[in-house]
A and B are shown apart, each in its own frame.
Chain A
């Protein structure tokens, strides 16, 4: 799976949009971009994933650049409960590689 690069930490004011960037410049055509987060002492929580098109669900939006070399996770109205480590994962689901490889992620702190 392609390697991803994320900033180690970010702050965001409560109520504002949190924009978390991820670089995946070596992504290949079959690879999806997945986002998970891990709140302290809990299991990872799935947020959203996409291949080429932008995606939106009840939790977040995912913006993928046209060349697919980077993406941004947007939490539209951050709350204190969104404080967590956010992981961007690029995953090829076509070749039997079932394991998820989590990098170091971005530690997002929501400031009251």
Chain B
């Protein structure tokens, strides 16, 4: 079956612009996660959704970052007024339920010039 998909696969933007990253989880998966991976580094947790609610937003680095999920399906991660340090691969994962195995998408590679 279809896995987690993310779009765009690559995004180049100028410092100060806003960007929206999209995640389509595996159908029927109630939990959805966003992570960030800077070049050569490990995964950094950003936010977790159970259904359309976000019980854990502890990893969002600043108020420039926000995320929402609708219809217990698609999620968007929005970064406002992008900075060069926001350059990274943004990874989305989903799981059938909380606590179960997380399956990752291919990521969106964001480059802020």
What is the number of contacts between chain A and chain B, taking CB atoms within 8 Å?
Answer: 50
A-chain residues with CB within 8 Å of residue B107 when the two chains form the complex: 42-43
State whether B43 touches A44 (Cβ < 8 A).
yes
CB <8 Å contact, A98 and B42: no
Interface secondary structure of A, over-half rule: loop
A98 touches B104 (CB 8 A): no
Check B33 against A98 for contact (C-beta < 8 Å).
yes
B interface residue numbers (CB < 8 A to A): 4, 31, 33, 35, 42-43, 45, 48, 55-56, 59, 91, 93, 98-107
**A98–B56 touching, CB < 8 Å:** yes
Residues of the A chain whose Cβ atoms lie less than 8 Å from the Cβ of B48: 98-99
Is A46 within 8 A of B42, CB to CB?
no
Find out whether the CB atom of A44 lies under 8 angstroms from the CB atom of B91: yes
CB distance from A107 to the nearest CB of B (A): 12
How many A residues touch the partner, as a band? 10 to 19
- Residue A100 CB within 8 A of the other chain: yes
15 A-B residue pairs with CB within 8 Å:
A34-B101, A43-B105, A43-B107, A44-B91, A45-B104, A93-B99, A96-B98, A98-B33, A99-B45, A99-B48, A99-B59, A100-B35, A100-B43, A100-B93, A101-B45
Q: A43 contacts which of B31, B59, B99, B106 (Cβ < 8 Å)?
A: B106
